[in-house]
Structures are given as structure tokens and as C-alpha cells.
Chain A
Amino acid sequence: MKAKPRIAIYKMSSCAGCQLEFLNLEPVLLDVVGALDFSYFVMARRGNLPGPYDIGFVEGAITCGEEIEKLKQARKDCKMLVALGTCACYGGLPSIKNWVPQRVVEGLVYSDLSAIHSTKAYSIDQYVEVDAFLKGCPVNKDELVEFIKGALLGIRPYLRPHSVCVECKLHENVCLFTSKGEVCMGPVTTAGCGALCPSNAKACDGCRGPANDANTESLAHAFLAHGLHKNDIIRKFRKFAGLTPEFSKGVEVV
């Protein structure tokens, strides 16, 4: 029998919600544990084992020098390196601070800044080559399982290229932008969440980052034409994935 693939789960600057999604796979967790060897998973085990590993999942944004070193070592130790969730894929929510001088943000939390040495928040592919991106805040469990199956079978998993709008239409939701004038990021955001927010009468926040061929300029113009406030539009584009070229364009327009 082939040896189980050795898995490593790394935490950078994050809330641990994406790695928790592994433990939240309860209905299939014992199967997953049967198929994979979680060699390095600090939140779940004490007896962690050294690399090399077959697949490394990296959660979180990179916000300090130590994390850059840890990430580079992870790249060396893992055959396949996966960005687990939006922080690792795009910088995520911590990247909101990137548009304010770092020392100003730090001064709002700590009085003595001498021991604080944070950088702006970046995605992991700014520093190392990444083999796959699992988007979402948190990462979607169905996609996670699909990815694991794909990796076990050696086939490419189906990760959605289209926008949240497509999934929203499939749910036959009333459009929050055209009917209520809400700043909904659905038209430009990667699907895969099942249009969760709009299906719960809440505008899309863009947490899964830009969809393929996202026309953010056009959407920003449409928001403006609808009378939406410039600052509200900028806040939406500079939230989970403000560093991406696509969402940056949305900001430039307004």
C-alpha cells in the first residue's frame, strides 16, 4: 500500500478559522485522518514531526520578517504548497491597514512601539511560489475536500472561475444592488461560497477575491452612477483583497 501523504499546516498572521475547517469536517474527519498523515498540525497535536511533507497548507497573511523565513522554509519542506484561505491568497482583512502608515496603526494598539516590528500584510505568493489557492474567509469546506480528493487522485480539482453573481442567480435571489442599492461585490468576486451572503440578504463583501476576468472598473462606475458614496465603494474594494490589480482598478476609478 502507498504511504499516506504527509501534511503540514502552517499558521501565519491569522484567526485560525481556516485550519479549524479541517477539524470542522466532522462527518468525514475520520476518513480524512485515515487518508492523510497530519505530520505537522500544531493546533491539533503535540507530537509534531519534521519534514519533508507532501502538501503544506499555509494559513494567514505575512506581516513580519519571522514569517517570511518560516514561509521560505515551508516552501523547501513541501512538495506542494497551498494558500489556505483569503489571508494567504490575498493578504485578507489584515491588509486593510496597508493604506495607513504602519506606525500610525501600531500606535492605536500599543503605547510602546519599541518591540513591535510589523510590516504591511501580504499574500504568501509575494514571497514564494504557490501551487494552489483555496480562497474564502474562511476557506470553503466542500472545496477543501474536493481539493484533497484531487490531490490524492493526482487530478486537478475544479475551483470555480466564475463570479458569485452566477451562484446568486442560481439561488434565484433578488439582486441587492439593483433592488436595494447596496454595494454588492458579487459581480467581480470568485464563486465557491454558494453566494452565502446575498442568500442571507446581505451584500457580498468580496472575501473570495477577484473572479477571472472581473470587470471592476465597470462595476465601480455602476456603483457611482447609482449614487453610492465614493468612500463606501473604496472600503469594499480595499477589504479582503485590496492589493490585487483587479480590486485596485476599482479604487482608481472612483
Chain B
Amino acid sequence: MSGKHIRVDYLARVEGEAALDVRVRDGSITSLQLNVFEPPRFFQGFLVGRKYDEVPGIVSRICGICPVSHQLTSIMAIEDAMGVKVSRQTRDLRKLFALSQYIQSHALHIYLLAAPDFLGYESVLSMVPDHLQVVARALKLKRLGNDLTTLIGGREVHPVTAVVGGFTAIPSRADLLSIRERLVKAKADGLATIELIASLSLPDFQWDTEHVALTADGEYAVNAGRLLSNKGLDIPVWEYRGHIKEKHVPHSHALHSYIEGRGSFLVGPLARVNLNMARMMPEARQAAMDSGVFPSLNPFHSALARAVELVHSIEESILLIDRLEPVEEERDYVIQAGEGFAITEAPRGILYHSYRINDQGVVEAADIVSPTAHNVHNMEQDLWRFVPTVLDLPEEEATLKCEMVIRNYDPCFSCSAHFLKMKVDRG
């Protein structure tokens, strides 16, 4: 009987390079490989021998879309290693900095990378004639996120001010207040985004995978917290390596993450909203509750979770700005040897950095696991279960649906290579 071959040589509208190859014979999958062919750049290798104060600038270049996450996570891991304490102002500015990137990255993914699939276009470029207002809203939100990142970091891609101990330069109160006005207005655009995503019809697809996210008391965890899952994981960040392992699979440059004794897991907006909805800001929480969707085990609900987080990020940015009156602060610390760990919630999920530093401040070992690296194994697991549901569809449509399964994760394959390529062979 007939076989099928679903094959995508170079997955579009994701960051980085991956391919999918699925072979089906007599209605069952004979092989399924998500191949991250993004060439590895060996950051963990060449960080060894560099000075601690170079690390944030170097790891930033792992990813052009979430540089803030890599910078902040490395900084906090190094501070952990050297016993550096920072001020409340620094913690607030760091959170605002991280949220600015949520606004930019989520607007980029929702509108430019994911929405064309749902609305039936090959790209946002082709949406312009029919949906000019939607595109204009997207660009406005994305620009707002970028401008907030620039206000704090000096530049949107690879910002420069965040360092161990704090910031080299801080935004003025006047500039914060002026962007606050734009944030207040943007809330309506955020809510319109939720409305748009909630109106889409999504595949009814779910399975009982483990969802993992940071969680913290009294706030929606972004830069600090404990690691929590819906299946009983509850650990401080420094115990990460005792529970979460990686294996090298031959078909991919991305290492596959798994939880010791269990298996693949999902990180990102869906896991976060599922686990931490009660700690979201009021309008975002209300919208999440009104949707009636969360908690959800359907990975296609990631887009809605992202939209809800967009509103949350706008709301919390306003809250942070209201209590910030930035003053120049001394960055006072001594370089000392140690090993440090940090996990943050990057836009795509938990990001782990750890460093061992010697008494000269030189890096002796680096360990980095990106959100997409955490998710790749789970993407394959999704596909093993999803592909059989689309086998009756025409090849082109089945392939698009499989791509959407991967795009649900907003994958960043540059971050994960160590990391993804799709081909489905049904022949």
C-alpha cells in the first residue's frame, strides 16, 4: 500500500536552520527526524579563556531575537558565582528590560512568523494588501518593544548597558514616562491581538507532556524563581543539572533535553500561562480566564498564551516604570572564584546558563541550554502523535500543518545548535 514522505528542507518563518523528514508506510510512521542543520558555533567552547565581563556581550550573539535573555542570564549566573548582590533598582530595570524583549519577540512571532499560517498567507509581506491594519498594529507593537529595549540597553539587537553588578547607563525618568504613555495606549493593541488569536480555529490536538516553567511568589516569574512542572518537578535553579539531561542524537546538531527518569518536556508561553496564570497582571489574567482555554495541553494554544503574555508584559512594564526613579549606582564587587547558575524565562521558555570562574575572573567552564534546545525533543514527540492525524490530507496541507506544530514553539535554531531540519518521506 501507499507510503508518504513529508519533507521540508529548510523550515521557513523560524529563526535559524532546520529540516523535517517524516516517512510513513502503511499508515504508520517509520521514521521521523527533526534535523537542526544550523551549523554549531561552539559558544560554550570559546567562552573558556575569556574574561567574566566579556561574557554578556559574547553570549548575546547566540541569538539576535533574544539577546537580552542571554545577557541577563549570563550576568546573573556570574553574579551567583562571584557572590555579587544587586540593588532593587537593578532588579526592576532588568525585569523591564526582559519584558521589553517579550513585547518585541512575541509581536514578531504572533504577527510575522505565525499569523500567516492561520490566515492563509505565505508571509506577512503578502498580508499587507489585505490586512494593512493588522500589519500596522504588529509593527507598532514590535517597535514599542524595540524602543523600550533601546531605552534601557542603548540598542535593540545586542544592547550594551547590562553588566555584572547593574547597568553602565540608566534611562532618565522623563524618557521612561514618555514611553509609559505609549505602553498605556498599546494595551488596546495587545487586547486586540488576544481577540484575533482567540478567533482562530485550531487543531484539536493534545497529549499529556510535562510543562516546565519558573515560578515565584508574588510575581509572574521571568528573571528568578524555582523550576516547577505539572508533574511534580519543584527544584531550585542550582539543582537543574541533577534533573535535566541532554543526549546527542545523530540526526541533529541540537542536543535533546529530557527530564531524568521521564522524558521530553515543553517550555515557553504555554507552560508559563498554565503554571503561573494566577500571578499575571489583572487584564492579562482576566483575558486568559475568559478564553476558557487554560490550563491547556494543546500546543496550538501557545499562540494565545503568547498574546496573553504580550498584554501582561505591557501591564507589568507600566507597573515597573511607576516605581522606578533611576539614580546612578556604584557597581561594587570583587572578582572571586566560584561556580554559578541562573535560569530565566526567555520569550521562548527557560534558559539555563552556568559558569565556573577562576580567581582572575577567567571562565573555566560554560554550560548553556536554550529554550529551543529544551523543546526540540518535545517537538519531535508532538509530531509522532500529530502526523497520523494529517495523513489523509493532501501532501502540501499535511506539510504545512506539520510546520505549524514546530512554529508553535517559536523555535530559535541558532540558539539550539547545539541544535533543527524537516523532511517527511511517505514513500
Residues of A with Cβ closer than 8 Å to B?
Answer: 11-21, 23-24, 26-27, 29-30, 33, 38, 41-48, 63-64, 66-67, 92-94, 96-97, 100, 104-112, 115-116, 118, 121, 137-138, 196-197, 199-202, 205, 232, 235, 239
Contact = CB atoms under 8 A, between A and B. Distances in A.
B131 interface: no
B116 A94 contact: no
A21 B157 contact: yes
Interface of B, helix, strand, loop or mixed by DSSP? loop
A16 B157 CA distance: 10
A248 to B, nearest CB: 18
B385 interface: no
Contacts of A24: 142, 146, 156-157
Nearest to B400: A46
Contact of A196 (B13, B123, B140, B155): B155
Given A29-B139, A48-B12, A201-B169, A17 B61 contact: yes
A12 B62 CA distance: 13
Given A93-B58, A112-B248, A235-B54, A23 B17 contact: no
A200 B58 CA distance: 18
B112 A15 contact: no
When A and B form their complex, which 9 residue pairs have the shortest distance between CB atoms, in order from nearest? A17-B64, A45-B123, A47-B122, A105-B45, A108-B45, A26-B143, A46-B12, A97-B46, A96-B46
Given A16-B16, A45-B13, A196 B41 contact: no
B95 interface: no
A101 to B, nearest CB: 11
Interface residues of B, number: 62
Given A15-B61, A26-B146, A235-B51, A97 B158 contact: no
A26 B139 contact: yes
Interface of B: 10, 12-17, 37, 39-46, 48-51, 54, 57-58, 61-65, 67, 108, 112, 116, 122-126, 128, 135-136, 139-140, 142-143, 146, 154-158, 160-161, 163, 168-169, 248, 250, 253, 255, 403, 414, 418
A63 B39 contact: yes
A16 B64 contact: yes
Nearest to B143: A26
A92 B146 CA distance: 24
A100 B116 CA distance: 44
A20 B61 contact: no
Nearest to B368: A109
B64 A15 contact: yes
Given A110-B248, A112-B248, A200-B154, A235 B41 contact: no
A4 B49 CA distance: 48
B160 A200 contact: yes
Contacts of A200: 154, 160-161, 168-169
A108 B41 contact: no
Contacts of B128: 30, 33
Given A104-B45, A235-B54, A42 B154 contact: no
Contacts of B156: 24
A115 B13 contact: no
B123 A47 contact: yes
Nearest to B252: A115
Contacts of A16: 15-16, 63-65, 414
A93 B168 CA distance: 22
A123 to B, nearest CB: 15
B112 A23 contact: yes
Given A20-B65, A44-B123, 10 more contacts: A16-B15, A17-B65, A42-B10, A43-B14, A96-B46, A104-B45, A138-B158, A196-B155, A201-B168, A202-B161
